[in-house]
Amino acid sequence: MTAVTEGQTHPAAEGRAGTAPDPQTVFDAAVAADERIEPRDWMPDAYRASLVRQIAQHAHSEIIGMQPEANWITRAPSLRRKAILMAKVQDEAGHGLYLYSAAETLGTSREELLDKLHAGRQKYSSIFNYPTLTWADVGAIGWLVDGAAITNQVPICRCSYGPYARAMVRICKEESFHQRQGFESLLALSRGTPEQHAMAQDAVNRWWWPSLMMFGPPDDESSHSAQSMQWKIKRHSNDELRQRFVDIAVPQAEALGLTLPDPDLRWNEERGHHDFGAIDWAEFRDVLKGNGPCNDQRITQRRRAHEEGAWVRDAAAAHASKHRQNQGEAA
């Protein structure tokens, strides 16, 4: 969106001769014209708050999501798998960084968001409250969880808020690498010994349903969806994206030689989509409330990592201020 300061006319609001464009009109016109809203542009308070909420939840999910997988770095079955997993977990830290930076452009500091996460006042994706019990879980997370994340996130590359949309372009490229490494890892297990195949199947059995829950509650129960779609933060409904994910996953499961744990899953010729069984929303709400198998562990570990990293933040801040001082003296 072209930056508009007070008294200027946004091109999208021209043609109303004699009336000073009110910022809401300029904003609405920009969103309607599929332009990007940038940090210095005027935006409604509720739009800003909604973006901060969504970007924060997304950023928190990236860094909490490092934990279940990092659990397997020391026990990866080969040097190659270990190197891939370390790279993936580092990517997730990077995703967190891009997203906290995107939130900062809305006037909310990373420190403030982390404080809210640690105090339990902001959420992260419920999927990361499930444990990684075997090595096959790392493959299942890559294939299903990163796969669901991509389905959710590709449309955000066209989100109306510029910094969020741009961060998402790079994130999606990396997520697609994550999805492929998960698929490839599961394929190796599925074609391995009977024990390895069973381990892969067991992981898929445990991760399938929580992956479907990643798209959020059904459309008629989703409290933020309608407004987010109006603002073009969100482009497709939860149920639409969930259906898209199921349709992509079914042939991939066949290629893997693994079964998706849903007896009601079948192709519906009329709809041109797969029908699937009912999701256990009571479980979803329970995990969301904090009663999942790993909620406490994840937050405790996050707080500890934050405390133990305090010296790094202090050192970086001291270095930056020394650097500024040196530059000032040189100038």
- Identified binder of Fe ion from the candidate list 35, 137, 146, 262, rule CB under 5 A: 146
Q: Is 41 in the site for Fe ion (CB under 5 A)?
A: no
Phi-psi region of 274 (alpha: psi -120 to 50; beta: other; left: phi over 0): beta
Give me the residues paired with residue 266 across strands: 275
How far CA 92 is from CA of 5, 59, 150, 170, 219, in Å, comes to: 37, 9, 13, 12, 28
Q: Which stretch binds Fe ion (CB under 5 A): 55-63, 159-167, 214-222, 240-248?
A: 55-63
Q: Is 69 in the site for Fe ion (CB under 5 A)?
A: no
Q: Which stretch binds Fe ion (CB under 5 A): 71-79, 145-153, 186-194, 290-298?
A: 145-153
Q: How many CA atoms lie within 13 A of 62 on its CB side?
A: 27
- Identified binder of Fe ion from the candidate list 35, 92, 104, 137, rule CB under 5 A: 92
Q: Is 95 in the site for Fe ion (CB under 5 A)?
A: yes
- Identified binder of Fe ion from the candidate list 41, 69, 175, 262, rule CB under 5 A: 175
Q: Which of 252, 244, 241 is nearest to 215 (CA)?
A: 241
Q: Is 35 in the site for Fe ion (CB under 5 A)?
A: no
- Identified binder of Fe ion from the candidate list 178, 206, 232, 302, rule CB under 5 A: 178
Q: Return the structure tokens found at 235.
A: 């482009």
* 61/134 with CB nearer Fe ion: 61
Q: What is the DSSP letter of 161?
A: B
- For 23, the enclosing helix (H) or strand (E) is helix 23-32
* 50/61 with CB nearer Fe ion: 61
Rounded CA gap, 171 and 150, in Å?
Answer: 9
* 4/63 with CB nearer Fe ion: 63
Binding site for Fe ion (CB under 5 A): 62, 92, 95, 146, 175, 178
